[in-house]
Amino acid sequence: MDILTRYSGLRNKDALARKVSWKRLREEYGDHPFSPREVNELRLLLLDEPDPDVRTTGIICLDQMLHSPTPAPEEGFHDWLFHSFRQTRGEGKQATKHSLVVTVCDDAYVRDVQALVEVARRLPSDRYSQTVFRHVALQSPDWADVGLNRAEAICFIGRPSMFKDCRIIDHFPSDLRFSIEPPDVDEPEGFFRVSQNRPKAGRLMYPTTEDSLRRHDHAIVQRFVIRMGGRDVTVVVIAGGSSVGTLGAAQWASAFEWGAARRNEFARVAGLDAIDSSTRIEAFLTVSARVHKPARPWRPEIEERGLFLHKSRNLLKVPARISVATDSGSVQNANDVRYLLFDDDEMEFGTVDYAAAVAVCVKYCIDEQPEMSIKDLVSDQRLWPKGICPVKGGACTFFRDHLQRRSFNGIIEVGASSLQLKLDNCKIAVIPAQSSASSMMVRTA
């Protein structure tokens, strides 16, 4: 509807009615943002306004509407991911931040161009004025003029192993959940693959495969903070086993839902008071795309596989399978447990969370009863690693905080005196433990 039709009182023959209409328009402006054409119509109306008092009121109202602060849009996932890359309002010139986005330059000039464009279009120069985009040579990189010694944040687009001789990569945390590894020499495909690093259960390898129709890839998005040269450096990794995975990771980071309600739920399940710029995140994705001959730009299809904050379980889904790994493949007490797998993820809960999870799993594997007395759980020393139950205060609150609200969220219900496993949604079983040196290849279609 035309603005002057919607607010027909602006053309009323009565001057008082026109003045009241201008004031009403100002009050309702938030529900109707004006287009440039509508603003021009209002200005022309004021130019023709015969009554000085109405004209003055209208000018003031229009000026207030055009210069009124608009509510800031809710921070999206990409904004949060790159928060450390931008200058915030409260920081003065002395606190100017320097940040980098780095890609590899090869014989074809730049790799991962599509992924680079996806990231760059989300980092506008007015908000990320100190973020510099650099290309380094694939074969003989020269890091002298890149500015690593000044960067407080750096984003690697593409697998980190391409960025040879970059000293920051040597400082990556040793306990990252995911990395990207080269193919074995005897593998027919020359693609890299995503490695899920499980210290006790052995690595899971997700290779990149391609047939005449499609390429199937995997990708990671990571953010973590390292200490280097006496300063904290935020690192973002957007990478896949091949170019289609890297593009898929960049597109996923731009589109992932990150509303306040979901963010608060993630923090709760991860056992965090809040999610901030220091929170480590690791996402795991499956990416596929049609192969064109001759080649065309990729159009990736993305499947979210996992999202982890610090050492949390997978925040995108509750486990469908919990595996209790022991050396013998059977369990008599908690000390037999080598590790827990939630689906294929080796869990690294904090000490108290891990002890509570082990106790419940061992109890179920021994008795095969999904309903358990809280009193029996607390008093049975067989169920706790080293026989020590860490309950302090109310046992019911303990299990609700550490199981129902975090690790077993969605598959357990804690009552006043007992808890109930919801095994329609999850299966618990004992398995033989794997050697930590072993690795398994997982091929997904």
Neighbours of 158 (CB within 10 A): 25
Pairwise CA distance, residues 219 & 135, whole Å: 21
Strands (E), 34-113: 99-105
Which residues neighbour 413 within 8 Å (Cβ) at sequence distance 6 or greater?
A: 404, 419, 420, 422
pLDDT of amino acid 298: 92
Strand order of the sheet with strand 418-421?
371-373, 418-421, 412-414
Measure the CA–CA gap between 269 and 264, rounded to whole angstroms: 9
Q: How many CA atoms lie within 13 A of 243 on its CB side?
A: 16
What's at 306, amino acid-wise? Answer: G
Q: Can you point out the beta strands (E) in 80-143?
A: 99-105, 131-137
Which of 66, 19, 57, 18 is CA-nearest to residue 39? 66
pLDDT score, position 400:
94
Tell me which amino acid residue 203 is: R
What local confidence, expressed as pLDDT, does residue 148 receive?
86
Find, among 352, 397, 115, 389, the residue nearest to 245 by Cα: 115
d(CA 379, CA 273): 30
- Run of H or E including 13: none
- Token pair 């004992």 is found at 430
Tokens standing for 415? 């009552």
pLDDT in tens, 180-236: 998 877 666 678 999 999 999 999 999 999 888 999 999 999 999 999 888 899 999
CA distance 220 to 81: 13
Q: Report yes or no: 423 and 320 within 8 Å, Cβ to Cβ.
A: no
Helices marked H in 351-394 = 351-367, 374-379
Contact between residue 283 and residue 221 where contact means Cβ atoms under 8 Å apart: yes
Which helix H or strand E contains 42, and what residues bound it? helix 36-47
Token couple for 80: 């949060």
E strands in 116-251: 131-137, 153-157, 178-181, 193-196, 203-207, 209-210, 214-228, 231-240
pLDDT value, residue 88: 58
Q: Along the 445 residues of the chain, how does pLDDT read in single tens digits?
A: 567 777 788 888 899 998 998 888 888 775 566 777 888 888 888 988 999 999 999 999 888 888 776 656 677 899 999 999 986 544 555 456 789 999 998 776 678 989 999 999 999 888 898 899 999 988 888 888 888 888 999 999 999 999 988 989 999 999 999 999 988 776 666 789 999 999 999 999 999 998 889 999 999 999 999 998 888 999 999 999 999 999 999 999 999 999 889 999 999 999 898 899 899 999 999 999 999 988 889 999 999 999 999 999 999 999 999 999 999 999 999 999 999 999 999 998 888 999 999 999 999 999 999 999 999 999 999 999 999 999 988 999 999 999 999 899 889 999 999 999 999 989 999 999 987 667 787 877 6
127: phi then psi, degrees, rounded to nearest 5: -100, -25
pLDDT, position 67: 79
Question: What pLDDT shows up at residue 397?
Answer: 94
257: number of Cβ within 10 Å: 8
- Measured over the CA atoms of residue 156, residue 161, residue 165 and residue 169, the dihedral's sign is positive
CA pseudo-torsion sign 350, 355, 360, 364: positive
- Please report the pLDDT score of residue 4 as a whole number: 72
Hey, what long-range contacts does 18-24 have (CB within 8 A, 24 or more apart)? Answer: 18/49, 18/51, 18/54, 18/58, 19/51, 19/53, 19/54, 19/57, 19/58, 22/54, 22/57, 22/58, 22/61, 22/62, 23/57, 23/61
Give the Cβ contact number of residue 311 at 10 Å: 16
Torsion of CA 404, 406, 407, 412, to 10 degrees: 10
Does residue 294 have a cis peptide bond before it, meaning omega lies within 30 degrees of 0? yes
What pTM does this model have? Answer: 0.81
Give the pairing type, strands 345-346 and 301-309. Answer: unpaired
At residue 363, the 3 state secondary structure works out as: helix
- Give pLDDT, residue 90: 47
Q: Which two tokens stand for residue 318?
A: 């509750």
Domain ranges of the chain: 3-67, 77-309, 321-434
